[in-house]
Structure 1
Amino acid sequence: MTCNLTLGPILFHWPAENKLDFYSRIADEAPIDTVYLGEVICSKRAPFFEQHYSAVVERLERGGKKVVFSSLCEVVLKRERKAIEEFCSFGSHEIEINNSSALLHIDGRPHRIGPMMNIYNEETMAHLASRGASHFVLPVELPRASTEILVARGRELGTGIEIQVFGRASLAVSARCYHARAHGRTKDNCQFVCEEDLDGMPLRTLEGKPFLAINGIQTLSQTYLNYITEFQELITAGITDFRLSPHTCDMVLVAENFKAVLDGRKDPAEADAALTLMMGDSAFSNGFWYGRPGHLRV
């Protein structure tokens, strides 16, 4: 079985120059097979980087990467519905759907189902596969037992199965913009305050303990998902693609360590130690895989 290392879409509102530098380095240095591009969280952010897509795609493909475009996860406004309709008309690249409104426009053409679609059972997977879905990115909160059931069904359907193995876990999205509200602003007049927190805005409990992270309308885990010590279990379970979610840390180093473990060139414990050193005070978690609270490191 061929296993692929993928890079998910950037979920945060990074300056365009940061994104350009990031993707240039990924293209030239990172052992990544597939890169997902697109604004997933907030449609208001999209115009800041859309004009750079052609150049970024060319650079990534020149570096041997496959490019997939990811859709918005929340579609509320008329302009967002129009954007989804136009998104589904892409002809040159594969697309990943993160909102069910896109199913109206996809018309049976091959596509991927993203992690925001919440595929929790095999019948949902079979229904979407019958409508053209060829690849599923499973929700991060699924435990091993549930994942194995979906992997088995995916194998019957001939679809790829992907899970996130690194980065803050997406837990929820809302119609409200938490970032704007926290700074006394409205969603329509947010002034893009989310750009101040390049890995999400950290939250603390009333007791001052680290709790969650906020990214616009999105709630993320405070801890960083890290399945590098579970890699062999994931491969044995039949998962085909392993997603790294971009953060401001050294994502090339992250990719190199995951790739080395995937290829059997590095011991998982050694790679985990390298990632722990790189992340400093940021905590890792893997509780979801074991059916435990997601913030735990089992």
Structure 2
Amino acid sequence: MKLTLGPVQFHWEPEEWRDFYFRIADESPFDTVVTGEVVCSKRKPFYDQYLPEVIERLKAAGKEVYLGSLLLVTLERERRQTLELIEQSGVPVEVNDLTCLASMQGKSHAIGPYINTYNEATAAYFARNGATRICLPPELPATSVATIVQNAPEVAIEVFAFGRLPLAISARCYHARLHKLSKDNCKFVCNQDPDGLTVDTMDGEHFLAMNGVQTMSFTVSNLLGEAKDLERMGVKSLRLSPQHCDMVEVARIFRDTLDGKTSVEDGQTKLKAIYPEASFSNGFSHGSSGSKWVSERLEDQMGAV
């Protein structure tokens, strides 16, 4: 079982973003890293100046590197950016929008969790078109994951295992609207919330999180307890999505648990200490509400896989 670091979905300060990936390169046990701006094309210029040295540092550390495409392409400028991304030499693309997929014929690439790969036929279609790895949407239950793994052996299946879950993307910027700004003059206020901004119900219950044009879960997905069962199913990689916490240590906990160096219980205790403000969930994997925490093991629920 390998570990993949997904792209930073939030708007971090450019130097913090650069230093984050430098530390991932130098200290973390990640096998694969997806980088680049995937949520909002307006943020992209902040990171472009550092992207070449980030990629170089990650490659020098032996990491497999992918560049993530935008989740939603709506403007001519964004279409050009997507084509430039595909034409960039030496770095494969992780496709996050079907408009990008049309230009990937014959090129090795990955499919991100933002594309609805809900069954084995879809996974097989992507594999025939050059996809070598597919990160499944985080809302899929483990029963569906197992079916896809068993019936699409030609492609490596990855599961979203840590981080706030991406739920939806919009052409409208929620952060700008909240601050009474237009999207074109947003002043990049999303950088005030480096872990996303919590959205409450009218009754004051934490419900979702917003990240510019993106809607995310309030709870933080945590499949540490399901990791070994997913490995036995044939899942090839777990994706950890960057949060504003010590992601190097998060990766070490997942690595040590998978390798049998620490117990799930000890690992969970350490994760809570690293990210005390997080409310963990694993409901989607168990076929329940995504915000729930289910203590039952996957194998106990599904039977022997």
Query: What TM-score do the two structures reach when normalised by structure 1?
Result: 0.96
| Counterpart code for 2:6 | G
Matched residue SS, 1:106:
coil
Looking at structure 1, the residues matched to 127 and 278 of structure 2 have their Cα atoms a distance apart, in angstroms, of: 38
What is the identity, as a one-letter code, of the residue corresponding to 1:54?
P
The runs of 5 or more residues in structure 1 that have no matched partner are none
CA drift of 1:41 comes to 0.3
Aligned residues: 294
1:283 maps to 2:282: no
Name the % identity. 46
| CA offsets 1:114-136 (integer angstroms, 9 cap, x no match) | 11111111112222221111111
After superposition, give the CA deviation of every residue in 1:78-120 in whole Å (9 maximum; x if it has no partner). Answer: 0111111111112301210000001221122111111111111
Partner in structure 2 of residue 46 of structure 1: 44
Report the counterpart of residue 71 of structure 1 in structure 2.
69
Q: In the alignment, does 2:154 pair up with 1:139?
A: no
Q: Distance in 2 between matches of 1:109 and 1:28?
A: 29
Give the Cα separation in 2 of the matches to 1:278 and 1:135.
30
- In the other structure, the counterpart of 1:212 is 208
Which residue identity is paired with 1:258? F
**Deviation at residue 19 of structure 1 after TM alignment:** 0.8
Cα distance in 2 for residues equivalent to 1:189 and 1:153: 48
Question: Partner of 2:96 in structure 1?
Answer: 98
List per-residue Cα deviations over 1:193-226 (Å, max 9, x = no partner).
Answer: 1010000011111111111100011111101000
Q: Which stretches of structure 1, 4 residues or more, deviate above 2 A after TM superposition?
A: none
For 1:137 and 1:90, how far apart are their aligned partners in 2? 22
CA distance in 1, matches of 2:11, 2:161: 22
Residues 7-62 of structure 1, C-alpha deviation per residue, up to 9 Å, x if partnerless?
A: 00000110111011111211111111111111110000001011211111121122
Identify the residue that residue 84 of structure 1 maps to in structure 2.
82
Task: Tell me the TM-score normalized by structure 2.
Answer: 0.94
Runs (5+) with no aligned partner, structure 2 = 295-305
Residue 17 of structure 2 corresponds to: 19
Counterpart of 1:269 in structure 2 is 265
Say which of 256, 260, 270 aligns to 1:260.
Answer: 256
What residue in structure 2 maps to residue 112 of structure 1? 110
Q: Distance in 1 between matches of 2:40 and 2:291?
A: 26
- 1:203 is matched with which residue? 199
Paired with 1:243 and 1:294, the residues of 2 have a C-alpha distance of 17
Distance 1:32 1:113 in 2: 18
Task: Indicate the RMSD between aligned Cα atoms, in angstroms.
Answer: 1.0
- SS, match of residue 219 in structure 2: strand
CA-CA distance at 1:267 after TM superposition: 0.6
